[in-house]
């Protein structure tokens, strides 16, 4: 456990526990710090990187600006201190990462979600510009999500505060995909409008799934920005209001862009918009039922205001909404909003496999970059790192060793060949830190329609021939469905069968039947094993029982297969 000490003004020492690594950027690294029950995000800047006067001035400017800001949609600044090696900036901890990670998981967001996030960003920008601060690095990676799903704008390393009305800045700075054309030209300087341009890029990116000017070459990206060369993909459907908003923001001439007030009053924001979204939207889109609540409410008359205070009190436990007189409607539908979707922790699952059971067994690659083999003799092997492995024998006993371990030489050689093949097209990270969890394939089965894996952590993964997947985890209480576009949705299993996602329900029923077959086979194997231990004089009648049980098993499997074939006929 690492500690960092702060010498306070009264010469007392405050000791912080340095926790998990949160990320890095520029010259800084970010870690979780704790003091008692208080948690912070600590930005750590090594003094060795502050040798130049210009760099020190930029850091002090960042601290001065951020320290002066207090707003619910801006990352809170707590304090800063230093020791012999580093400068530490203690900030509000945002536990749900950033919009950048959210978009990587979700690919694209619904318009309702985008409206919700953009409204919060608008509030943060309005506050900044009112205090004469230009952020100049507005992007998904600097938009954090709190535990309440509030947007928090952070990282003021490139921010600048104007000293007088009409002042123009001339520093070329920003992130390539989000940088405004006037910053690139730099002839006439830039001002608050650069943040509005970046706001437009963010709106486009959340709706479409990638930035409007993105290319694989920075110079080419800059040329596209200067020419304002972007388009809306035909295969992605967004509303005319969304296109109108973006088109009126991404304008070369800063003076002709929409102002913040004009953006707030744009048609895109005229509907009913939640101030906060459910936690479930971190991993899956709002349900169609959730979205319909807004569409339905939009056409209804506004609720009376007499009971507004009661509605607000109840709604604090759920979601807060822009209009207080709409709270009752949403509070009454709380169960509808949350009963289906759940937050699913990152899962370790099978990413790819090779079936060589005709000779050795099944090799597989997990998505944490660990390789394993399920051998034909039911033993298992999992690579922990470059030369260490665990071996699980048929009795379930684990042995940890290295690839030079002579007694396992043959299986080690097979593992090396499997691993080389499975990692052939993979980008293996240098100095990759392998998971401490020892998760391996405990059982596997191949059917006409899918590959089924049961992992040692009790996760069941079914990969269908069309690349859709059903994953049962948390002791089969949570189901995650991955569609053909690799979009994930996680449900409470008891509610998943009620989903309006027909394709998922069909595959879930198939999964349920497959698991029943696997359980039945397991029982037969256990009974067979028990019977084999009984004395020989009793073996003939007992063998008859085994044959009977086996016949019943085969009959059940045949019946199940027949039913499954019919149920998946239109798959």
The answer to whether 47 is annotated as binding is yes
Is the residue at 392 inside a domain?
no
Which value, to the nearest 10 degrees, does the dihedral of the CA atoms of residues 43, 46, 51, 53 take? 10
Long-range CB pairs of 180-185, under 8 A, 24+ apart, other chains included: 180/225, 180/254, 181/225, 181/226, 181/228, 181/252, 182/254, 183/136, 184/222, 184/225, 184/226, 185/226
Would residue 137 show up in a list of annotated catalytic residues for this protein?
yes
Sorted by sequence, the CB contacts under 8 Å of residue 414 that are 6+ apart come out as 360, 361, 373, 375
CA 340, CA 342: separation in Å to the nearest integer? Answer: 7
190 and 162 inside one domain: yes
Question: What pLDDT score was predicted for residue 243?
Answer: 96
Per-residue DSSP letter, 75 = P
494 and 468 inside one domain: yes
Nearest to residue 121, comparing CAs of 140, 136, 105, 103?
A: 140
CA 360, CA 169: separation in Å to the nearest integer? Answer: 67
293 and 259 inside one domain: no
Question: What pLDDT score was predicted for residue 144?
Answer: 96
- Global model pTM greater than 0.85: no
255 and 294 inside one domain: no
- Of the listed 83, 84, 137, 195, which one is catalytic? 137
Question: What pLDDT score was predicted for residue 386?
Answer: 67
CA 290, CA 329: separation in Å to the nearest integer? Answer: 12
| Torsion-angle region of 212 (φ positive above 0: left; ψ -120 to 50: alpha; else: beta) | alpha
Question: What pLDDT score was predicted for residue 307?
Answer: 42
CA 561, CA 98: separation in Å to the nearest integer? Answer: 45
Q: How many CB atoms lie within 10 A of CB 312?
A: 15
Q: pLDDT per position in the chain (571 positions), as tens? A: 688 988 888 888 999 999 989 988 778 999 999 998 899 999 999 999 998 988 899 999 999 999 999 999 999 999 999 999 999 999 999 999 999 999 999 999 999 999 999 999 999 999 999 999 999 999 999 999 999 999 999 999 999 999 888 899 988 888 999 999 999 988 889 999 999 999 999 999 999 999 999 999 999 999 999 999 999 999 999 999 999 999 999 999 999 999 999 999 999 998 888 888 988 888 888 876 667 776 655 544 334 333 444 444 444 443 444 443 344 433 433 333 344 455 455 578 999 999 999 999 999 999 888 899 999 999 999 987 766 788 888 888 888 776 555 557 788 888 888 988 888 877 665 444 444 568 899 999 998 899 999 998 889 999 999 999 999 886 667 888 888 878 887 887 777 887 778 888 999 989 888 888 777 776 666 666 566 555 444 444 445 544 544 444 444 444 444 444 444 444 4
Q: Which domain holds residue 59?
A: 2-91
Confirm if 419 and 384 have CB atoms less than 8 A apart: no
Long-range CB pairs of 1-5, under 8 A, 24+ apart, other chains included: 4/33, 4/42, 4/83, 4/88, 5/83
Distance, C-alpha 19 to centroid of its chain: 21
Which of 35, 64, 91 is the last residue before a domain boundary?
91
Question: What pLDDT score was predicted for residue 346?
Answer: 56
CA-based torsion, 538, 539, 543, 544: positive or negative: negative
200 and 158 inside one domain: yes
Question: Angle 539-567/502-532 helices, nearest 10 degrees?
Answer: 170
- Tabulate helix, strand, coil % of the chain (nearest 5): 40, 25, 40
187 and 114 inside one domain: yes
111 and 82 inside one domain: no
Radius of gyration of the chain (CA): 29
Is the residue at 37 inside a domain?
yes
Sorted by sequence, the CB contacts under 8 Å of residue 408 that are 6+ apart come out as 391, 401
Which of 242, 269, 296 is the last residue before a domain boundary?
269
Helix (H, G, I), strand (E, B) or coil at 117: helix
Q: How many CB atoms lie within 10 A of CB 357?
A: 14
Is the residue at 410 inside a domain?
no
Beta bridge partners of residue 341, listed in sequence order: 491
Please give the structure tokens belonging to residue 278. 């459910």
462 and 516 inside one domain: yes
Q: Are strands 361-366 and 38-46 parallel, antiparallel or unpaired?
A: unpaired
Nearest to residue 334, comparing CAs of 347, 315, 353, 348?
A: 315
Is the residue at 123 inside a domain?
yes
16 and 67 inside one domain: yes
Question: What pLDDT score was predicted for residue 324?
Answer: 38
Q: How many domains does the chain have?
A: 4
186 and 124 inside one domain: yes
Q: What is the CATH number of the domain that holds 243?
A: 1.10.510.10
């Amino acid at each position: 456990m690492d500690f960092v000490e702060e010498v306070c003004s009264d010469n007392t020492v405050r000791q912080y526990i340095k926790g998990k690594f949160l990320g890095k950027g520029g010259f800084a690294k970010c870690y979780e710090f704790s003091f008692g029950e208080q948690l912070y995000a600590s930005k750590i800047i090594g003094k060795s990187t502050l040798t130049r006067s210009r760099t020190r001035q930029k850091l002090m400017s960042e601290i001065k600006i951020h320290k002066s800001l207090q707003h619910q949609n801006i990352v809170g600044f707590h304090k800063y201190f230093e020791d012999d090696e580093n400068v530490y900036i203690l900030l509000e901890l945002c536990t749900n990462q950033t919009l950048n990670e959210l978009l990587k998981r979700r690919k694209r967001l619904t318009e309702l979600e985008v409206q919700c996030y953009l409204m919060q960003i608008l509030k943060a920008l309005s506050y900044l510009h009112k205090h004469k601060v230009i952020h100049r690095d507005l992007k998904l990676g600097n938009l954090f999500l709190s535990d309440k799903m509030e947007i928090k704008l952070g990282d003021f390393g490139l921010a600048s505060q104007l000293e007088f009305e009409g002042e123009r800045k001339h520093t070329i700075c920003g992130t390539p995909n989000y940088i405004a054309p006037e910053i690139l030209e730099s002839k006439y300087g830039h001002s608050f409008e650069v943040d509005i341009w970046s706001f437009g890029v963010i709106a486009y990116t959340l709706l479409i799934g990638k930035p409007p000017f993105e290319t694989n070459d920075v110079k080419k990206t800059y040329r596209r920005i200067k020419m304002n060369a972007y388009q809306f993909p035909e295969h992605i459907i967004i509303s005319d209001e969304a296109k109108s908003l973006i088109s009126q923001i991404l304008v070369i001439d800063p003076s002709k862009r929409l102002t913040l007030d004009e953006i707030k009053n744009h048609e895109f924001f005229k509907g009913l918009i939640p101030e906060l979204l459910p936690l479930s939207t971190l991993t899956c889109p709002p349900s169609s039922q959730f979205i319909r609540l807004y569409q339905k409410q939009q056409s209804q008359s506004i609720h009376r205001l007499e009971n507004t205070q009661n509605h607000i009190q109840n709604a604090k436990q759920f979601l807060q909404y822009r209009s207080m007189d709409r709270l009752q409607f949403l509070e009454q539908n709380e169960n509808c909003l949350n009963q289906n979707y759940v937050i699913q922790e990152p899962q370790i699952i099978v990413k790819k496999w090779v079936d060589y059971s005709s000779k050795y067994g099944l090799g597989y690659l997990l998505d944490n970059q660990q390789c394993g083999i399920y051998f034909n003799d039911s033993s298992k092997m999992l690579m922990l790192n470059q030369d260490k492995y665990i071996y699980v024998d048929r009795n379930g006993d684990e042995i940890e060793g290295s690839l030079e371990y002579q007694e396992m030489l043959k299986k080690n050689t097979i593992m090396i060949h499997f691993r080389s093949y499975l990692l052939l097209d993979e980008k293996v990270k240098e100095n990759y830190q392998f998971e401490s969890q020892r998760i391996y394939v405990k059982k596997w089965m191949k059917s006409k329609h899918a590959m089924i894996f049961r992992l040692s952590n009790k996760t069941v993964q079914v990969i269908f021939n069309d690349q859709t997947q059903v994953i049962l985890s948390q002791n089969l209480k949570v189901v995650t469905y991955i569609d053909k576009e690799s979009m994930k949705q996680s449900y409470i299993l008891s509610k998943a069968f009620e989903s309006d996602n027909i394709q998922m329900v069909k595959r879930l029923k198939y999964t349920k039947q497959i698991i029943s077959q696997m359980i039945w086979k397991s029982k037969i194997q256990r009974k067979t094993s028990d019977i084999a231990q009984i004395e020989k004089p009793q073996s003939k009648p007992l063998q008859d029982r085994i044959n009977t049980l086996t016949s019943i098993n085969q009959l059940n499997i045949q019946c199940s297969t027949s039913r499954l074939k019919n149920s998946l006929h239109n798959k």
